[in-house]
Structure 1
Amino acid sequence: MTEQDADAEMAAILRETFGDSQSDSDAEESESSRNRRPLHDSTHSIFGDTHIWEPIPEISGLWISRDFLSADQQSALLSALEKDGYLAEDSHNQAMKFGDLPDWAMELSYYIREDVAITSDNSKAACVFPSDLLWREPLFNQFIVNIYKPGEGICAHVDLMRFEDGIAIVSLESSCLMHFSPVEDENAEKNSAKIPVLLNPGSIVLMWGEARYRWKHEINRKPGFQKWDGEEIEQKRRVSVTLRKLCCV
């Protein structure tokens, strides 16, 4: 297959999955349908230009896009979370949703898929997220919103087996380090073999395969554990949105 044929096939897949991004008459289109319809040309999405996806070399199946959401897009997402009551002062610091997801979560899912699928190096797409995960329907049907006050984190864990492979984590408001350690390493808490990954605001992490099942991840925001390039990361409130797919029963 030539490169042109491959591009044409990818374009056909995107059109079949998302619909055509062109419209004969924007005037005939309702405002709501325009807002909900993805843009599907090969260089732009509703979240802006396509993004760079970086592998974490030490951990198979762990990828990060450090600039997935711009400052304005982060603000828009936080506003949607606030509107839906997930950031209310009197709410708990964790909230979950199963099944029919709100519009903002559906859009986020759509554009994760789109951005991976149209990454500038199409041959890399299957490495960022395997095709059987990327094209499943739905991509995600559950999310969890966590609010971490300065100094708060989460202990080392592997996400529950009730969720399928393939997890996305979006970070908002405050940078932090997420540390990864092998599941079989019972002394991981005491050794220095943990792999640190910097999660900056607007970044998104994809975990699948070994990263999903064979590595624990944690965030320890106590003083001394949040250093990057020799400097302590300033502690602010951090909000994370984790997208997952519930296993079929």
Structure 2
Amino acid sequence: MPRFTSPKGGEDASSHHLYVANCGPAVGFSHETIASVFGMYGEVEGVYAADESGTRVIVSYHDKSSSQAAMKALNRHPCSSLGGRTLHIQYSVQSLGKVNNTASVPVSTSASDLDIPGLYLMHDFVTPQEEQELLAAVDDRSWYHLAKRRVQHYGYEFCYDIRNVNTNQYLGELPSFMSPVLQRIRSFQALSRAADMSLDQLTASGVNEYPPGVGLSPHVDTHSAFDELIFSLSLAGPCIMEFRKYTTGVWQGNSTSSSDLENQISGLNFVKKAIYLPPRSLLLMSGEARYAWHHYIPHHKVDKVNDSLIRRSARRVSFTIRKVRRGPCRCEFPEYCDSQK
């Protein structure tokens, strides 16, 4: 896939290529759909992922006049053909050099190999029979449809637009099918800190279903929304989860409609690590892993683990179990903390 970058000083401000933020597979629009929309302004040679977020693309035209027409018509305007989303567009140029941090990274199968403080992975946390029972339980209930996946909320509903919960909207206790999982978390000695949690107040803030090729954009779970320990139980299919810690500037990754989208990936350097999450495994993010590392699922259909290529299953369901925070966050990572800014 070609690589692109922003025009440098002295270069023509316009080009054949447009960097388009606020659209892409992660928000429900395929590259084919985007090409069709932008094709109204001229011949589109290709649509490419701008990065791994799934929310930004490069649209390449055959000629510069077409990109100029699209820029004039679509930049900072709601696009009815793309769900009314306001697009943020810049000109881009094809890069012949290497792009920082785009190379693939080795994938670990153990959390200890990543050396991220507070990250733990427990294989076979539930049995195959329990996995089937959990899947049957959620499939017996109604799903809420997002652009590219379906979700269910228990305890409190998670609001994706503000990345927080409404504590005034209590949905009731966690369902009984979660009891064995919660009990096992309490009794697992390696998680002695979890035993101090009032697990009856935990929120399963989403049962997320990811079809092949659909991932999760980089983010840190909002500090003020949830307490320190965040658990993610993977069912039905495997995936790769990647972690980023930014070393130049801080990107919270929570903006979806602001002009800040244009600068989110400019001037940022980061350390990048990856872990393989097999079915029936439980991931715990705590401490630094929870508060300071962005986590995300790349938008891949095939993952490379060591020397093996693993095709994603037709379905992956994750149970994310968190405790709603009462009061502001007082963590040791104020640069990432919305309560301490």
Mapping of residues 1-249 of structure 1, within 5 Å: 55-86=112-143, 93-98=150-155, 99-114=172-187, 116-117=188-189, 125=190, 129=191, 131=193, 133-138=194-199, 141-143=202-204, 144-161=206-223, 162-184=225-247, 193-222=271-300, 226-236=303-313, 237-249=315-327
Q: Distance in 2 between matches of 1:233 and 1:241?
A: 22
Query: TM-score scaled by structure 2?
Result: 0.48
Q: Distance in 2 between matches of 1:141 and 1:61?
A: 19
1:103 corresponds to which letter in structure 2? S
2:229 corresponds to which letter in structure 1? G
Give the number of equivalent residue pairs.
182
Identify if the C-alpha distance between structure 1 residues 214 and 145 changes in structure 2 by more than 3 Å, giving closer, same or farther: same
Q: Distance in 1 between matches of 2:217 and 2:316?
A: 16
Identify if the C-alpha distance between structure 1 residues 92 and 58 changes in structure 2 by more than 3 Å, giving closer, same or farther: closer
Q: Distance in 2 between matches of 1:92 and 1:56?
A: 31
Q: Distance in 2 between matches of 1:80 and 1:209?
A: 32
Q: Could you report, residue by residue, the CA deviation over 1:2-57 in whole angstroms, capped at 9, with x for unpaired residues?
A: xxxxxxxxxxxxxxxxxxxxxxxxxxxxxxxxxxxxxxxxxxxxxxxxxxx96354
8 Å contact kept, 1:59–1:210: yes
Query: TM-score scaled by structure 1?
Result: 0.65
Identical positions, percent = 30
Please state whether the residue corresponding to 2:241 is helix, strand or coil.
strand
Please state whether the residue corresponding to 1:142 is helix, strand or coil.
strand
Q: Distance in 2 between matches of 1:221 and 1:92?
A: 13
| Per-residue deviation, 1:171 | 0.4
Q: Could you report, residue by residue, the CA deviation over 1:112-146 in whole angstroms, capped at 9, with x for unpaired residues?
A: 111x23xxxxxxx3xxx353x43221265211110
2:203 corresponds to which letter in structure 1? Q
8 Å contact kept, 2:239–2:278: yes
Please state whether the residue corresponding to 1:244 is helix, strand or coil.
strand
8 Å contact kept, 1:178–1:197: yes
Aligned to 2:72: none
8 Å contact kept, 1:81–1:87: no
Unaligned runs of 5+ in 1: 1-52, 118-124
| Per-residue deviation, 1:76 | 1.1
Identify if the C-alpha distance between structure 1 residues 235 and 192 changes in structure 2 by more than 3 Å, giving closer, same or farther: farther
Unaligned runs of 5+ in 2: 1-109, 156-171, 252-264, 328-341
Identify if the C-alpha distance between structure 1 residues 235 and 77 changes in structure 2 by more than 3 Å, giving closer, same or farther: same
What is the alpha-carbon root mean square deviation over aligned residues? 2.8
8 Å contact kept, 1:174–1:235: yes
Q: Distance in 2 between matches of 1:87 and 1:67?
A: 28
Please state whether the residue corresponding to 1:194 is helix, strand or coil.
strand
| Per-residue deviation, 1:184 | 4.2
Q: Distance in 2 between matches of 1:112 and 1:206?
A: 10
8 Å contact kept, 1:59–1:211: yes
| Per-residue deviation, 1:186 | 5.4
Q: Distance in 1 between matches of 2:233 and 2:117?
A: 19
